[in-house]
Structure 1
């Protein structure tokens, strides 16, 4: 699960937007339905946390739903590549669904008092800032910057943090430590992305005297 297009081995750090504008199948296909399902499962997680009473049954269900939703990110990508179902709609919707799943799950945990709202706000601020920066790169340079290793590590740490808070039996101290790591990676990956974008803009300006 990543929040930017994924480069393959040997691909450049940036992808011309024109390279993504290729003939594609209809947007209504299995991979895109899985992407849509990932976003729809967020309210289910919130409802399971809200109804959690004595025992851990609802909590385990919330954990299972989240793990399944996170897994669909890899499943829809595999299905899209194997069945030639890659679409521009999917390329746009996939990272949005990922963000909705992570932020929605964290917000759901904050609503029931399991983690602080400041952590949710930090992650939201980073995602909004990086998204705006990506839009600016597309508009000014017609380029899409793929996810870096730091971005991928950030996403994995956020998934692990949510899973740790959802899973019954995980010590609070362990879950909080994982969340702290996710917050640090979230902030650092945003800074790293900004530096990469800045270098790219400067390189383009130096190469174009106009």
Structure 2
């Protein structure tokens, strides 16, 4: 026996919209960003002026895809759970991977990379714990400023031209914002745990 037909307009409200396929343009850009990390690493380790320019250009392109994939996902209604998890992971892989290679080549201090890695791991673990408690901690303006400062620092170190002291200064700003935003997230997370 067939079910009675729902009134006009009701089915659209009562039936949840299916999640879009994980394979879409936005997620493809996120995946591309991850795949470009070893390419940048190889170009830097191989050395040479032309490869340095290629590493610089590819990093800038990869960093730009971070803004593009979010816009594409919202525009095409292609926001997926996979994308929400993979996008920040791709950002971390791009920045930390590039910084690690630059430190390996002796272009910047290892301690700066260590500070950034510890902060990123700590915040990621904190978010995972909060998620298990049913709490979501969105990115703050402080956290977004941290990401922008890290991208600027890596870009300046990869640039084949330009004074080194500017890149060093940008790295110090990035490290300071990394620590400050990490402290901010720790306090925010503590408040969320108490409210859970």
Matched, 1:65 2:71: no
Alpha-carbon RMSD across the aligned residues, in angstroms, is 1.3
Shift of residue 201, structure 1, vs aligned partner: 2.2
2:158 to 166, 180, 191: 166
1:128 to 113, 121, 133: 121
Where do 1:53-132 residues align within 5 Å? 53=48, 56-132=49-125
Residues 1:181 and 2:176 are matched in the alignment: no
Q: Which has the higher contact order (CA 8 A, sep 6+)?
A: 1
Partner Cα separation in structure 2 for residue 66 and residue 203 of structure 1: 40
- How far the C-alpha of 1:181 sits from its partner, in A, is 0.5
Distance in 2 (alpha carbons) for counterparts of 1:86 and 1:148 = 20
For normalisation by structure 1, the TM-score amounts to: 0.83
State whether structure 2 residue 20 is matched by structure 1 residue 28: no
Counterpart contact for 2:56–2:158, Cα < 8 Å: yes
| Contact preservation (8 Å) 2:56, 2:159 | yes
Q: Give the aligned partner of residue 7 of structure 2.
A: none
CA contact 2:135–2:192 (8 Å) conserved in 1:
no
Structure 1 Cα separation of the partners of residues 62 and 72 of structure 2 = 15
In structure 1, stretches of 5+ residues that fail to align are 1-20, 205-210
Which residue pairs with 2:12 in the alignment?
Answer: none
Match of 1:45 among 40, 44, 51: 40
Question: Matched residues in 2 for 1:200 and 1:84: separation?
Answer: 29
Larger radius of gyration: 2
CA drift at 1:192: 0.3
Bigger mean CA offset, 89-98 vs 168-177:
168-177
Q: Structure 2: which 5+ residue stretches go unaligned?
A: 1-15
Whether the aligned pair in 1 keeps the contact of 2:146 and 2:178 (CA below 8 Å) is yes
> Equivalent residue of 2:21, what SS?
coil
Give the Cα–Cα distance (whole angstroms) in 1 for the partners of residues 81 and 58 of structure 2. Answer: 27
Tell me, in whole angstroms, the C-alpha distance in 2 between the residues paired with 1:170 and 1:180: 17
Matching residue of 1:13? none
Number of equivalences: 181
